[in-house]
């Protein structure tokens, strides 16, 4: 079956611009996570959705970052006034959402964001 997909696979933008990154989770998965991975580091949690609502956004670094999931399926991560330090691979994961801590998270291939 189809896994988690993310678009675009690569995004190059200029400092100060606005970008949107899209995540299509596995059909039927109610939980959705965004992570960010800098070069040579492990992924870092950004935000977690259960259904349409953001249940935990404690990992968002500042108010330039915002994410939505209006219909409980597709999610968009939005970054305003991008900075060079935002350059990273942005990973999306989804899980069934039924058992929380033991749910397997399925990751997408990521979007590589480069801010010039």
Residues that bind another protein (CB under 8 A): 4, 31, 33, 35, 41-45, 48, 55-56, 58-59, 91, 93, 95, 97, 100-110
**Judged by CB, which is closer to another protein: 36, or 86?**
36
**Judged by CB, which is closer to another protein: 1, or 14?**
1
**Least separation in angstroms between CB 36 and another protein:** 11
Q: What gap in Å lies between CA 14 and CA 5, rounded to an integer?
A: 25
**Least separation in angstroms between CB 65 and another protein:** 16
**Least separation in angstroms between CB 57 and another protein:** 11
**Least separation in angstroms between CB 70 and another protein:** 21
Distances (CA, A) of 14 to 18, 80, 113, 114: 9, 11, 11, 8
**Judged by CB, which is closer to another protein: 90, or 115?**
90
Please answer whether residues 20 and 76 qualify as being in contact, where contact means their C-beta atoms are separated by less than 8 angstroms.
yes
Secondary structure (DSSP) of 46-87: EEEEETTEEEE-TT--STTEEEE-TTSS-EEEEE-S--GGG-
**Judged by CB, which is closer to another protein: 12, or 17?**
12
- Cross-strand partners of 44: 36
């Amino acid at each position: 079956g189809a896994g988690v997909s993310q678009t675009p696979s690569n995004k190059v933008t200029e400092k100060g611009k606005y970008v949107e990154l899209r995540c299509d989770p596995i059909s039927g998965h109610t939980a959705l996570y965004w992570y960010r991975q800098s070069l040579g580091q492990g992924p870092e949690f950004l935000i977690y959705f259960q259904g349409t609502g953001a249940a935990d956004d404690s990992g968002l670094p500042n108010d330039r970052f915002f994410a939505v999931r209006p219909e409980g399926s597709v999610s968009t991560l939005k970054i305003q006034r991008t900075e060079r330090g935002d350059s990273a691979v942005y990973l999306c994961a989804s899980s069934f959402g039924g058992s929380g801590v033991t749910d397997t998270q399925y990751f997408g291939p990521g979007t590589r964001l480069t801010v010039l």
